Amino acid sequence: MTEQDAQASLQAVVDDLQAEGDELYALLKDSDTGFWTQTSTFKQWTVWDVIAHLHFSDHMALTSLSGEAGFRKLLQEVMAVKSARKFTNQWLTVDGHSITGPDLLERWRQVFLQLCKALREADPAERFAWVGPGMKARMFATARQMETWAHGWEIYDLMNLPRQHSDRLRNIVTIGVRTYGWTFTNRKLEVPEQVPYVALTAPSGELWTFNDADSAHRISGDAVEFCQVVTQVRNIADTRLQVEGDNARAWMEIAQCFAGPPEEPPAAGTRVVNTTS
């Protein structure tokens, strides 16, 4: 890929990230403030917890883009508390009280836009520090889009609102497909050798395909539902995805496209609201 192509690719993904954040911000901007303290179906997090998590993650990413030394210092502070969530709650406490939901929303929005600007101006070839392996700016943007989209479901589900989708979802599909091996190695399991073929229908109706079409292990269906499974927004049993072959079934039962220790998907039947729109 030429330098010009790499820059164009980065800009396109940052556009998708910003659109994702804009959508979630618009949803909450004019919502009833009572939603901020309501508990979602994700680990008993409230809407406040969800946006606080996104805000601190964006802050960490922005800090990394500003320089590795600052990021390492911030990481040490988090590790000293031994809990990113606890650190975030302390970070967002003023005079002994957590900042309000609307104030948190605007604070997240400001940092989110700063992050998008920094990503646009980043060198596409440079690798930036992170909790695990370092990432280039395009992957940073893709990961932030994935997390913003995934955690957005907690809020859409809680509000019982339909969600519109666009083909910017392809970025998340791609992460999901590429982390097939990671899903197993992260759990210290042997990676099944034959990678499943994946054929998904995009929101636009386009067909997206990945891997060898001759594979006996296959996953097909709606791209939105595939993204829900790999981000652990939904249990595979609560989708209409067609899964064929042992490797595909094993993958979909524990799929995890995000970094960190192994997490368990939600139990079947616990998150079945708004699977499609």
Rg of the chain over Cα atoms, rounded to whole angstroms, equals: 19
| CA–CA separation, 113 and 121 (whole Å) | 13
- CATH for 169-254, options being 3.30.1050, 3.40.1350, 3.30.1370, 3.40.50: 3.30.1050
Cβ 87 vs Cβ 68: under 8 Å: no
User: Rounded to two decimals, what is the model's pTM?
Assistant: 0.94
Phi, psi of 211 (to 5 degrees): 75, -175
The CATH T-level fold of domain 3-161 is: Four Helix Bundle (Hemerythrin (Met), subunit A) (1.20.120)
pLDDT at 277: 47
Instruction: Give me the residues of the chain with pLDDT under 50, please.
Output: 275-277
User: Which of 253, 223, 256 is CA-nearest to residue 236?
Assistant: 253
- What local confidence, expressed as pLDDT, does residue 156 receive? 94
The C-alpha atoms of residue 181 and residue 3 are separated, in whole angstroms, by 29
Enumerate the domain spans of the chain: 3-161, 169-254
